[in-house]
Structure 1
């Protein structure tokens, strides 16, 4: 059988529930909704570590953060000869990568262009074909990218629009005699959510929209949350909470623009006659708390941050408008894609292919998704580390100080009732403790505080080792 093509599209900080097909009546996502009606919806898809760069390292390697060494943002990943790009290239696939990369940074200075230009070679993780990327940028009217030399190309207009143009151009010019795999990494709808950063054509659509707060929004900053100096509890109460509706208005306008661009990409696939032979994935790297549980941003095990949309379309092979409750975790994506593309899965991959759940075949599936919270978003700060399991009904989490959480996300979707101290759940709690400890032992995950890794695994913000590997 002819090997299919692959188009993998992922947004940044897009929640699983802010799309029309997921039940959000205020979202404007007709193209994604239409795509959902043609696809399989993975209802239990999660981000292994709801932070941008750690997610990407796991996505491309099929390994957990403890094995990639990507414990925070703004550090440089290790090359990995088994990364998905190498397997694709070695299997005869043409590769294309467009958009946010965020795996080559060596400082928190985003104006330093050496954080953005990734020279051809091992740090591109095997993506040896078309390359048009940057490290980190969320000023969407001031976009830029680098290709195969150290020349900055500035984008005119709104960044996702230009990235979609590049993706369509790639599809129009790819060699039809060989299979291809194109990854498109959008920066939206990541903050800042200011009107000067919103897409002009969708801004007015949401300027007067009022958004309701969920039951787990208290208007306070959680006492359990570790805040740095920039995001203090006082700052959240005085600045973020009063402006949350305006922030959401901009966020939803970004999602609408994202939808329009995804629609353009699907139209191009149809126009070029590529739809039938192409697996298309639409997903996100993580969600956004939006003040739920007293938290903003991500990097936590609650569903608002950890759950992601994950839609997969493969005409004639995957049933339209279908759903699966398989526990899909980030390290499972690489082996699943390679399995579907009829390519070998490297022995070093730690995730599990869920191909049987997709194609209706018999086979084992993950009992639960194992999540790792290694520390801060980008700073070397201690106090918010955790490990968690999420299966089809429960989320179990343990903080580094020993505090435990147990939520039944079927009966308690807003995760308001922590059952960890309830004697009625004692047997289940012991089961999850054992599962968590076993997975950590398997991965040599010793559950260190964030600062432990600085100078051991990460030297001058460059990853040199992990629990299972060293930079050669």
Structure 2
């Protein structure tokens, strides 16, 4: 039986609500929306660490960042890490990486820090070695390549050249964009020049409209980047279709984390909020076509096991994620009821996300570590009635039982995934806000 080609279409810092399927009215993502409807849309998809390097380590290994050692930026992926690429290569695949890596210690990225990818057109810190109209990548020999066009188009052209090159073996390709991440040197979101005249009226998500931040000056460029990414997705699909690969190629779309536009802290992510941790995600191709909408909580650590199983390869026991393929075939099957999030750099923190509730704790010390012995409760949100997390209920007497239950569940998750047993200090009780109450059936 022919093994499928596998492409990971990977964006950077893209909010889940940039897509039409999540309610964005600006028609930015017609290709994503169309493919997700025909394939499988993961409606509740999350990163496990809302910052670049740690999230990327989780994608590559199927493990939490504290377990990979990459719990903050600037910590290279261990050379002996079991990665998707190493597993696909062992299974007879050609492996390739194009774009941003952010898991090495030097630039260009040496061969032993590429996670098992053989074909290489990458940069460790693409935001520092390139600009919107000045794309620079390095090959397997460390030689620089300057690619023409807007950066999204330049990377997509490179990917199309790769996938349309005849080969005997199936391929595993990661196409990793910088967009819609900001350009660090100017703290701006440089969209294609053509977007400036074609931009429709800007829709502002409620959290950004309510809270102080940079959305008023950054959303136009950000949405222009998202639009061009979706066009790139369409171009890649067209290339697969025109070369008779579409029926035996899996395309998996995701982002590493979201963006809160300096509304929650002094930068763009690194917080427990949906704006930081919830991402767009869909898949199309063998095993995913007509899978419908999956409502279970999908984590970035689940992608490696999912894609390996979809390719008929063994999933290493060291991976902490789970393949979601069984849930696609049996929508009411066994799946997680909660998801732990690790947070670093802005703070040492943990959060737990369930269908209804978001609960977060943070270490009181200002020193940022991989983990802490003691955390204090900081946030509790009712996502059913406050989906944009504008009212913090932590400490409210009316929600004390919810916090207690979430505390126990988070401690269980920390023990399971980190092997640690920290303490969590309850928040000081404050009066109930208005007439709020929580019934016994709604505590979890």
TM-score range, shorter chain: 0.7 to 0.9
1:125 alignment partner in structure 2: 115
C-alpha separation in 2, matches of 1:146 and 1:375: 28
Question: Greater CA deviation, 13-22 or 75-84?
Answer: 75-84
8 A contact 1:216–1:416 mirrored in 2: no
1:390 is aligned, of 334, 353, 366, to 353
C-alpha separation in 1, matches of 2:205 and 2:45: 24
Aligned ranges 1:33-432 → 2 under 5 Å: 33-105=33-105, 115-121=106-112, 123-128=113-118, 130-138=119-127, 139-175=131-167, 177-192=168-183, 197-206=190-199, 209-212=201-204, 214-215=206-207, 217-220=209-212, 241=214, 244-293=215-264, 296-314=267-285, 317-320=287-290, 322-360=292-330, 363-376=333-346, 384-401=347-364, 402-432=376-406
TM-aligned CA deviation for residue 137 of structure 1: 2.5
Question: Structure 1 stretches of 5 or more lacking a match?
Answer: 106-114, 221-239, 377-383, 449-472
TM-score (norm 2): 0.85
TM-score (norm 1): 0.80
Question: Structure 2 stretches of 5 or more lacking a match?
Answer: 365-375, 424-444
Provide Cα deviations, 1:4-26, integer angstroms capped at 9, x if missing partner.
Answer: 22111010111100122322112
Q: Calculate the aligned-residue CA RMSD, in Å.
A: 2.4
Distance 1:303-1:219 versus aligned 2 partners, 3 A rule: closer
TM-aligned CA deviation for residue 439 of structure 1: 2.2
Provide Cα deviations, 1:2-56, integer angstroms capped at 9, x if missing partner.
Answer: 3222111010111100122322112422222222222211111101001011101
TM-aligned CA deviation for residue 373 of structure 1: 0.5
C-alpha separation in 1, matches of 2:267 and 2:187: 16
TM-aligned CA deviation for residue 403 of structure 1: 2.6
C-alpha separation in 1, matches of 2:27 and 2:267: 20
Question: Greater CA deviation, 50-59 or 191-200?
Answer: 191-200
C-alpha separation in 2, matches of 1:368 and 1:326: 10
C-alpha separation in 2, matches of 1:16 and 1:406: 21
8 A contact 2:99–2:178 mirrored in 1: yes
1:237 alignment partner in structure 2: none
SS of residue matched to 1:66: helix
C-alpha separation in 1, matches of 2:95 and 2:4: 13
C-alpha separation in 1, matches of 2:198 and 2:23: 19
Distance 1:314-1:71 versus aligned 2 partners, 3 A rule: same
8 A contact 1:289–1:304 mirrored in 2: yes
Provide Cα deviations, 1:65-91, integer angstroms capped at 9, x if missing partner.
Answer: 111111222332212342111110001
